[in-house]
Amino acid sequence: MYKRQLLALAGIFPLSGFVSKDAILWGGFEHYGVFFWLAAFGGALATALYSAKLLSAFLGPRRADGRPHRPGPVIVAPLTVLAVFALLAGIPGLPLFTRDTFFARFLGMPAAAPATAASHSLEVALTVLQSMAVLAVLAGAIRIFARARRPADPAVLASGFGIDRLNDWLFVRPLKAVARFFAAVVDARVIDGAVNGLGGLSMALGRLTAGLQTGQLRHYAVSLIAGAFALIALTVFFAGGL
């Protein structure tokens, strides 16, 4: 089951990956030129290479004792769905070497102009070349990887292939440093400083205004008269300005 999926991923005929890969590579060549095709073709070969690496894990001599147990339905069910689509999902992209595919007809797309004989021959030749190159890379890589396969180093497995350490350096430590900065500077000095400063200002204003409350009637009378004169002066000033 997993082999079918990996072969479809590598783009082996007649699986679904072959149909989509052929359409993408030819569409890129036709619309964007040979440099785009070369880049996409290199990506297809890289896909075949790591598909071969995955396949090689299940090939070659066994190096483990005991009999592996069969996976349960929770694992088998999604793999079955993927295997079915790996085999059949390319059918809507048929027939090959034409834009008038079953999927295009389903979408109601207008029929494209028929390709010239030269363009059709070039597409067929590129498809054959691509398929042969992918098969060669896949077969050669499987042979090399299966033969050179070694048991995994327990220390590497225990270290998580270095991913945990990389995650610690890239994310955990920088985030901890930012959190310490905010706790020590932004929170303690800026936020707490602003809150404490407003509290101190309120206390100072309170003490200042409290000093005006003397309990003497003559002081209140003087304050009232001074306030009235100040209000009259402001009224005359602004009225004169208008």
0.75 surpassed by pTM: no
Encode pLDDT of 136-153 as tens digits: 998 888 888 777 666 656
Give the CA angle between residues 12, 15, 17 to the nearest 5°: 70
* pLDDT at residue number 115: 60
Enumerate the domain spans of the chain.
2-151, 168-241
Phi and psi torsions of 111, nearest 5°: -65, 135
Token representation of residue 214: 């003397």
Helices 34-56, 2-10: axis angle to 10 degrees equals 160
CB 34, CB 25: distance < 8 Å:
no
Residues 6 or more apart whose CB falls under 8 angstroms from that of 159 comprise: 165
- The confidence band for 184, taking pLDDT boundaries of 50, 70 and 90, is confident
Encode pLDDT of 78-102 as tens digits: 888 888 888 888 888 777 777 777 7
Q: What span, in angstroms and rounded, lies between the C-alpha atoms of 167 and 45?
A: 30
Supply the mean pLDDT for the chain.
80
End-to-end alpha-carbon separation of the chain, Å?
91
Phi-psi region of 13 (alpha: psi -120 to 50; beta: other; left: phi over 0): beta
State the DSSP code for 197.
Answer: H
Encode pLDDT of 187-222 as tens digits: 888 888 888 888 888 888 888 777 667 677 777 787
